[in-house]
Amino acid sequence: MSRKQFTAEQKLKYIKILIEKDLEMAMITFVEDFWEERYKENYLKYKNKRNPFKYAKMLITDWYNLYNLDMELLKSKTGIAPKKGKSGRKRKISINDLNEYERQFYQDVLEEILEEHGITNSDIIEKVKKRKDEKNIKNCRMKILAEIFDINRTSIYSNYLKKQKKDSKEKYIKQEIIDWILAEAEKSGLVIGRDKLYYKYIRSTKKYVSSYVFRINYEKS
């Protein structure tokens, strides 16, 4: 299933669902439109095939980023802007575009501004903690961030690790999913496999859950 096969209109359809509703509904709609009949059978047969919902999430989030970046990139089948006639939004320069010396200059200027305005390490730590609670930081290298901000890493990072260690499978247990699985098992006489139940649950309830969460509830039931 190549990303080149999708038209700009199709991409905008799922972006609109993402904006007006949420990512989960966009993913479910995508799978029902493109995967259900042509690809589900192969996915169930060959376990090394990509998960359709993960693939949907990857495509839709990529399209949404291109949509915010440059409409010409979204229209392109490859996600690469054409060499001529490029139009649309101009990409905003980020810190990732700076070289080593430019990043150092950027950091020096920020440090001077912080010092001039009397912003202390304690203020920065509180701000980082607040952002940590609001945003997903799984992909953030807290050690690097702590060095950049010149703050104690343990004040923000160790607390996060302790919180992660306390998490367990119990938080993924959903009684409504268990009840649904038990009801379907009773109807079928316990002959429907977990994979088929997983897809049936998503189709019938219009609620997306990961295969991992569904497996936990399946085993719990």
Q: Mean pLDDT for the chain?
A: 73
And the tokens for 169? Answer: 């499978």
Helix (H) or strand (E) holding 178: helix 175-188
Q: Show Cβ contacts of residue 24 under 8 Å, excluding neighbours closer than 6 positions.
A: 207, 208
Gap between the Cα atoms of 219 and 142, Å rounded:
35
Amino acid 48: pLDDT: 47
Cα–Cα dist 84/94, whole Å: 24
User: Do 95 and 105 contact (CB within 8 A), yes or no?
Assistant: no
Average pLDDT over residues 50-60: 81
Residue 78: pLDDT over 60: no
Helix (H), strand (E) at residue 121: helix 121-134
Two tokens, residue 94: 């980020």
* Alpha carbons 185 and 194: distance in angstroms, whole number: 10
State residue 42's pLDDT score. Answer: 54
Model pLDDT for residues 93-129, shown as the tens digit of each residue:
667 777 777 777 777 778 788 777 778 777 777 777 7
**Listed residue (149, 43, 47) closest to 141, CA to CA:** 149
Taking 60 as the threshold, does the pLDDT of residue 164 lie above it? Answer: no
Query: DSSP state, 155?
Result: G
